[in-house]
Amino acid sequence: MSTPIRASSILPGHREDIELHTADGLRLVGELARPVDREPVATLVCLHPLPTHGGMMDSHVFRKAAWRLPALADVAVLRFNTRGTSSVRGTSEGAFDNAVGERFDVAAAIEYAEFHELPNVWLLGWSFGTDLALKHGCDPAVSGAILLSPPLRYSKPEDLAQWARSGRPLVALVPEFDDYLRPEEARQRFAAVPQAEVVGVPGAKHLWVGDAERVLDEVVRRVNPAVPLPLPTTWDGPMETGDVSAYADRTVASFADRPVPGPPQAKAG
């Protein structure tokens, strides 16, 4: 009998705790989720929102991606905590560095995927993570990048220019009611990258609460186009239930009264 897939549903997958080791000597904690009985078609390397505002490897869209996509879309999902970031998995060494030292974190994740021969590597950045992807992710080992709620806070014109020269796919999913950058302005800003695709998502907000399924559909559409969409909302096989209570206070909204670090020209999430 089919069972509804809920926020806490964990579909079958091979999941293992991993460690990333950065060029500047830090140990970062993470997890790799893969399909149970076949090789993945594509790999997502997830770059999470601002850790100073609750962002981490378990931020809800990434958690759902890791719990669902290996089974539903033959996609491997690599999540990790950037330097100084904590989650149930543990705390990565180091300290938040305003998207500067994090270049080593991004490089370590890409290197891990390359060393373990994970196929068709795409970066999936969310908010602060989109800046990391734009600044530090235009790597020969990367097929492309998908940006969720990009604030373009830390990114510079030269970062967009680098992606433009690379020709690699760049997809920005921009909520209609985003707090920092909305679709019309996003299209103007990303016009510097000819191959960039800006997708406005009606009714959505920066945190994608209630819209994770739409995000996952759009992600799968790019990284494994052979998968029928929308993704199933029920599952006929074995299913576990994860404990999401540990994440109740780990959203950007919960940290809204804290000052946002970084360059002063815009807000960030």
pLDDT in tens, 210-248: 999 999 999 999 999 999 999 999 999 999 999 887 665
- d(CA 152, CA 181) in angstroms, rounded, equals 8
Write down the CATH superfamily of domain 15-224+243-255.
Alpha/Beta hydrolase fold, catalytic domain (3.40.50.1820)
Say yes or no to pLDDT of 189 above 60: yes
Say yes or no to pLDDT of 59 above 70: yes
**What band does 101 get if pLDDT is binned at 50, 70 and 90?**
very high
Average pLDDT, the chain: 93
Going by C-alpha positions, the residue among 198, 165, 161, 160 that lies closest to residue 181 is: 198
Residue 263: per-residue pLDDT: 52
- d(CA 184, CA 82) in angstroms, rounded, equals 31
Say yes or no to pLDDT of 96 above 60: yes
- d(CA 187, CA 171) in angstroms, rounded, equals 11
Percent of the chain at pLDDT exceeding 90: 90
pLDDT in tens, 62-92: 999 999 999 999 999 999 999 999 999 999 9
Residue 268: per-residue pLDDT: 39
Residue 180: per-residue pLDDT: 95
Cα within 13 Å of Cα(211), Cβ side: 21
Edge to edge, the sheet with strand 27-34 lists: 14-21, 27-34, 75-80, 42-47, 121-126, 144-148, 170-175, 196-201
**What band does 250 get if pLDDT is binned at 50, 70 and 90?**
low
Cβ atoms of 82 and 92 within 8 Å: the answer is: yes
